[in-house]
Amino acid sequence: MTSPSLFSHTFTLADSFQPKADAVLYPGDCLRLLKQIPDRSIQLVVTSPPYNIGKEYEKKRQLHDYIQFQEQVIRECVRVLADTGSICWQVGNYVDKGSIIPLDIVLYPVFDSLGLVMRNRIIWSFEHGLHCSNRFSGRYETILWFTRDTDKYVFNLDPVRIPQKYPGKKYFKGPKAGQYSCNPLGKNPGDVWDIPNVKHNHVEKTDHPCQFPVGLIERLVLSMSNEADWVLDPFVGTGTSIIAAFRHGRRGAGAEIEPKYIDIARTRIQAAFDGTLKVRPMNKQKYEPTAGSKSSLSGVD
């Protein structure tokens, strides 16, 4: 899973940005970490910032102030972004007095004003979350994928292909008759990703209320970076983005302001290096057919 050439030595987890470190876990404000990072040195920025809904790790602000704070962070992320790099900003909704405000819509102009190009608006679909009584329960969030205004950004499709729906399908007429009509490596996963979120019975669950599943970030890491590249998560939480980077031979960096999540992240990152961290496989199906039934819930572990 990991790259022997990159991690064959003693694993180095630094608490400030060091270009030769294997990973960086900064215990503090992400803007301070970003100030340490050289221009255009990060291949992939992937994060899920606070949604401004009053979680323990955030200070709820007026929406205008929240957007201004996000703009500060995004501007620094653009500064450190490599010429071939990508930014993936995963967000949900801000709720104010019962009114839903999609954060991807209000944040898009910030990225656009900084000269970035949106390549995809990915829908992350999941089945678990808060149950609403006065509206339909929210069961998806979005990932905004941006690059610089260039056609030379990194995009590796083959490592993230998923099984074809009809893998044995062949052309039945014409010059290709009898040949397979689909890519033998699988199909493009599209822009709607059905990946379980990390809730109470998930094998990766920690005390963090809004934890990334490793498989979600692995798909972004594999498709938008190459081995030995830097992956940055300004709001790293319990370290999932660093773990996903490490598992595929990349270097990971992130900042977290809550001491208890820093401790959890450090433990999880070390477990990933030791090979003892439990992780749900990236492309594990949520439902698996079993004998005697049409389908069976495979579980989220």
Q: pLDDT value at position 267?
A: 93
Mean pLDDT of 287-297: 50
Q: pLDDT value at position 288?
A: 56
Helix (H) or strand (E) segment spanning residue 124: strand 117-125
User: Which of 75, 101, 117, 119 shows the shortest CA–CA distance to 220?
Assistant: 119
Q: Which is more confidently placed, 285 or 260?
A: 260
Q: Indicate the length of the chain as a whole number.
A: 301
pTM of the model: 0.87
Q: pLDDT value at position 8?
A: 56
Q: pLDDT value at position 54?
A: 57
Q: Domain extents for the chain?
A: 4-158+190-297
Mean pLDDT, all residues of the chain: 87
Mean pLDDT of 225-250: 96
User: Which of 29, 197, 73 shows the shortest CA–CA distance to 124?
Assistant: 197
Q: Which is more confidently placed, 282 or 40?
A: 40
- 45-54, 76-85, 201-210: which is most confident: 76-85
Q: Within a 10 A sphere around the Cβ of 46, how many other Cβ atoms?
A: 29
Contacts with 196 (C-beta within 8 Å, 6 or more apart), sequence order: 126, 127, 128, 202, 213, 280, 286, 300
pLDDT band at 243 (very low <50, low <70, confident <90, very high): very high
pLDDT band at 4 (very low <50, low <70, confident <90, very high): very low
Q: pLDDT value at position 167?
A: 82
Q: Which is more confidently placed, 107 or 58?
A: 107
- Dihedral sign (CA 199, 301, 267, 82): negative
According to the CATH classification, is domain 4-158+190-297 in 2.30.30.60?
no
- 116-130, 196-210, 237-251: which is most confident: 237-251
